[in-house]
C-alpha cells in the first residue's frame, strides 16, 4: 500500500572548497529544482529506489535528471542515463512492429489470429470464437482473454506457449470482439504473430526495426545486455507484506512469453522521448506518417467514468484527474508496471511536449512528478471542477439479473434502489463478499471479495437497450440469457480458484 507523505523540506547549503578561504574558490551547490524535489518526495513516499525524469518540449529535450540510488544496497546515485524497465508502455512498441508488417503486406489488421498462428490448442467447443479473433482486436484489448498466464515458466517459448499451452489453464472471458477489456495475453498473441511473420524472435525484431531507427540505442529486452552496460537500477518490490529489495538483475523475471506485453523492456526517459517524437511528428524511418498517426486514433471507448479511449497501445483523453481536480489538457499516455518498476509516459500533442518518468518501485504513484514536470515548462492548465457521471438508479432494473462467472452463478437484484449480490457457491465455501454493490459512478460499482475491492462496469453492446456484461479486468460475468452453450472461462477445479485470485 502506497502512502503520500507531506512535502519534504530541502535544506540548501553553500559549500566551500576544502583548504581555501578565498571567496572565488567557494563552490555553490545548485539547489534541486522544484521538479526534482517532487521526484524525491515521490521516491520516498513510494519506497522506490530511484526516479528518473526527462522532458521533451518544442523540438528538444529540456530536462533530464534522476534521484535516488541505482541499487537498494548501494550508495551509487542514479543518473539520467540509468536504465529502468518500462513495463506495459512496451505495448505501443508492439503495435509499431505490427503496423510495420502491415505496411509490408505481411499482415492486415482484419486478418484472423488463427491464419497467422495456426493450430492453436483451443477447446473444440470454442472454435467459432477463436476463429473470429482479428489482429486489431488484440491491439485494442478486445480479444476477451483472461489476463493470466497460468502454466507459464521462466523458459517458456512465446510461440509454443501461446499456441499449445495458454489455453490449457487460461481461456476467454466472453465472446471476443464485443468490448475493450485490458488483458496482457492479447499482446503475447500479437508478439507471436510478429515473430512468425518477421522470421525473427520478438525481441530481436523490435530491437532491430524499432529501437535502432528511433535511436533508442541502449533500450533492450536483454538482461545480459543491461548487465554488460552496467548503468541500471534494481527495483524494490513492496507490493506484498514482505518488502523484497532486488540485489541482482538475475532475480528479475524475463520470460519470453510476456515480452510483447511489457515483461522485461529496459530503457531510459531520454530514449523514451524518441518514441514520443514518433507519436508527435512521425518518423518515416519507422512508419509512414499515416500509420504512425493511427497509434493515437480513438479506436475503442473504454468502459470508464472518465472519457478515455484506447488507440494502438496508447490511452487517449482530453484531460486527467489529480487531487480531485480536472486538468483539461489533451494527451496520449500509457503507464507500465513490471518486475517492481513503474513507468509514466505522457505525450501532449497541442504543446509539442512529452514527459517520461521511470522508477524502481512497485506500482508507484508518480502523478506528483508529472504535475511538477508540466509546471516546469509552464503548460499546466488551471484545474476545473469535475464531477463523475452520477449513478443512474433508473438503470438498476436493467443491471439486475442472473449472471454466470467462471461457471458460478451470480444474482444481482434491485432492492429499494440498491443492487444486492448473491453467490451461492461462495456462500457454501464460507467466502466473504459484499452483499451490496457500492456505486462509484455511472455504470461503475465496487464488489468486495475476500476484503479486496474490485471495480466492475455494467457494459452494454446494444446502445443501452440491455446491460448483459458485468466487467472487470479480472473477471467477466455474463447474463445467462445471452450465455453461450459452453462456458468460455470454466476450468473445472480452477473455477473458484480463479475467481478468488482476483483479490490477490
Listed in sequence order, the residues at least 6 apart from 12 whose beta carbon sits closer than 8 Å to its beta carbon are: 29, 31
Mean pLDDT of the region 32-39: 92
Cell of 267: 530503457
Cβ atoms of 101 and 349 within 8 Å: the answer is no
Helix (H) / strand (E) element for 444: namely: strand 444-449
pLDDT of residue 410: 96
Cβ atoms of 491 and 438 within 8 Å: the answer is no
Q: How far is CA 300 from the centre of its chain?
A: 16
Query: Can you tell me the distance from the alpha carbon of 476 to that of 484, in angstroms, rounded to the nearest whole number?
Result: 14
pLDDT of residue 104: 98
Q: What is the mean pLDDT of the chain?
A: 90
**Looking at the predicted structure, is the pLDDT value of residue 376 above 70?**
yes
User: Pairing mode, if any, of strands 418-422 and 438-441?
Assistant: unpaired
Listed in sequence order, the residues at least 6 apart from 11 whose beta carbon sits closer than 8 Å to its beta carbon are: none
Residue 393, CB half-sphere, CA atoms under 13 Å: how many?
Answer: 7
Query: Can you tell me the distance from the alpha carbon of 49 to that of 456, in angstroms, rounded to the nearest whole number?
Result: 33
Using the 8-state DSSP alphabet, how is residue 336 labeled? E
Query: Can you tell me the distance from the alpha carbon of 471 to that of 445, in angstroms, rounded to the nearest whole number?
Result: 10
Domains observed in the chain: 34-89+217-376 (3.40.710.10), 92-203 (3.40.710.10), 393-501 (2.40.128)
Cβ atoms of 10 and 321 within 8 Å: the answer is no
Nearest to 50, CA basis, from 353, 369, 374: 369
What are the backbone dihedrals phi and psi of residue 131, each rounded to the nearest 5 degrees, phi first? -70, -15
Q: What's the Cα-to-Cα distance from 260 to each of 91, 154, 298, rounded to whole Å?
A: 7, 15, 22
Higher pLDDT, 148 or 501: 148
10 Å CB burial of residue 251 (0-12, 13-18, 19+) is middle
pLDDT digits (tens, 9 = 90+) for 155-204: 999 999 999 999 999 999 999 999 999 999 999 999 999 999 999 999 99
Work out the angle between the directed axes of helices 185-198 and 91-103 (0-180°, nearest 10): 40
Query: Can you tell me the distance from the alpha carbon of 16 to that of 28, in angstroms, rounded to the nearest whole number?
Result: 8
Q: List % helix, strand, coil for the chain (3-state, nearest 5).
A: 30, 25, 45
User: Pairing mode, if any, of strands 315-317 and 331-333?
Assistant: antiparallel
What are the backbone dihedrals phi and psi of residue 42, each rounded to the nearest 5 degrees, phi first? -65, -35
pLDDT of residue 24: 40
Place of cell 499546466: 380
- What global pTM score does this model have? 0.91
pLDDT digits (tens, 9 = 90+) for 224-276: 999 999 999 999 887 766 678 888 999 998 899 999 999 999 999 999 999 99
Amino acid at each position: 500500500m502506497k502512502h503520500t507523505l507531506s512535502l519534504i523540506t530541502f535544506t540548501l547549503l553553500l559549500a566551500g572548497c576544502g583548504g581555501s578561504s578565498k571567496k572565488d574558490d567557494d563552490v555553490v551547490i545548485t539547489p534541486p529544482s522544484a521538479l526534482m524535489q517532487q521526484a524525491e518526495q515521490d521516491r520516498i513516499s513510494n519506497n522506490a529506489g530511484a526516479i528518473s525524469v526527462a522532458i521533451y518540449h518544442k523540438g528538444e529535450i529540456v530536462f533530464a535528471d534522476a534521484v535516488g540510488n541505482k541499487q537498494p544496497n548501494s550508495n551509487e546515485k542514479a543518473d539520467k542515463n540509468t536504465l529502468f524497465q518500462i513495463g506495459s508502455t512496451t505495448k505501443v512498441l508492439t503495435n509499431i512492429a505490427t503496423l510495420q508488417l502491415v505496411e509490408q503486406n505481411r499482415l492486415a489488421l482484419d486478418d484472423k489470429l488463427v491464419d497467422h498462428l495456426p493450430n492453436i490448442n483451443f477447446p473444440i467447443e470454442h472454435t467459432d470464437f477463436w476463429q473470429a479473433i482479428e489482429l486489431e482486436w488484440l491491439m485494442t484489448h478486445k480479444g476477451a482473454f483472461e489476463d493470466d498466464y497460468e502454466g507459464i515458466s521462466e523458459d517458456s517459448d512465446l510461440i509454443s506457449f501461446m499456441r499449445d499451452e495458454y489455453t490449457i489453464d487460461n481461456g476467454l472471458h466472453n465472446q471476443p470482439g464485443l468490448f475493450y477489456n485490458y488483458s496482457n495475453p492479447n499482446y503475447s498473441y500479437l508478439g507471436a504473430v510478429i515473430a512468425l511473420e518477421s522470421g525473427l524472435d520478438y525481441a530481436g525484431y523490435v530491437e532491430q526495426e524499432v529501437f535502432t531507427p528511433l535511436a533508442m540505442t541502449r533500450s533492450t529486452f536483454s538482461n545480459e545486455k543491461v548487465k554488460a552496460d552496467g548503468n541500471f537500477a534494481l527495483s524494490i518490490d513492496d507490493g506484498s507484506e514482505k518488502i523484497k529489495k532486488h540485489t541482482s538483475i538475475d532475480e528479475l523475471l524475463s520470460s519470453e512469453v510476456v515480452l510483447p506485453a511489457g515483461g522485461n523492456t529496459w530503457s531510459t526517459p531520454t530514449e523514451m522521448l524518441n518514441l514520443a517524437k514518433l507519436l508527435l511528428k512521425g518518423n518515416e524511418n519507422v512508419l509512414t506518417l499515416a500509420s504512425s498517426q493511427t497509434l493515437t486514433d480513438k479506436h475503442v471507448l473504454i468502459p470508464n467514468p472518465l472519457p478515455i479511449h484506447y488507440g494502438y497501445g496508447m490511452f487517449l483523453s482530453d484531460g486527467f484527474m489529480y487531487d480531485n481536480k480536472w486538468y483539461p489538457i489533451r494527451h496520449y499516455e500509457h503507464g507500465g508496471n513490471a518486475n517492481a518498476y513503474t513507468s509514466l509516459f505522457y505525450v501532449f500533442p497541442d504543446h509539442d511536449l512529452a514527459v517520461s518518468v521511470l522508477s524502481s518501485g512497485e506500482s508507484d504513484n508518480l502523478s506528483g512528478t508529472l504535475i511538477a514536470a508540466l509546471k516546469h515548462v509552464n503548460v499546466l492548465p488551471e484545474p476545473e471542477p469535475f464531477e463523475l457521471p452520477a449513478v443512474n438508479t433508473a438503470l438498476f432494473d436493467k443491471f439486475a439479473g442472473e449472471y454466470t462467472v467462471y461457471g458460478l452463478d451470480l444474482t444481482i437484484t434491485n432492492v429499494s434502489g440498491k443492487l444486492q449480490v448473491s453467490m451461492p457457491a461462495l456462500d457454501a465455501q464460507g467466502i466473504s463478499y459484499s452483499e451490496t454493490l457500492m456505486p462509484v459512478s455511472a455504470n461503475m460499482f465496487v464488489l468486495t471479495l475476500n476484503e479486496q475491492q474490485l471495480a466492475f462496469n455494467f457494459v452494454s453492446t446494444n446502445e443501452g437497450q440491455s446491460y448483459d456484461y458485468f466487467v472487470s479486468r479480472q473477471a467477466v460475468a455474463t447474463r445467462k440469457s445471452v450465455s453461450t452453450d459452453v462456458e468460455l472461462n470454466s476450468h473445472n477445479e480452477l473455477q473458484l480458484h480463479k475467481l478468488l485470485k482476483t483479490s490477490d
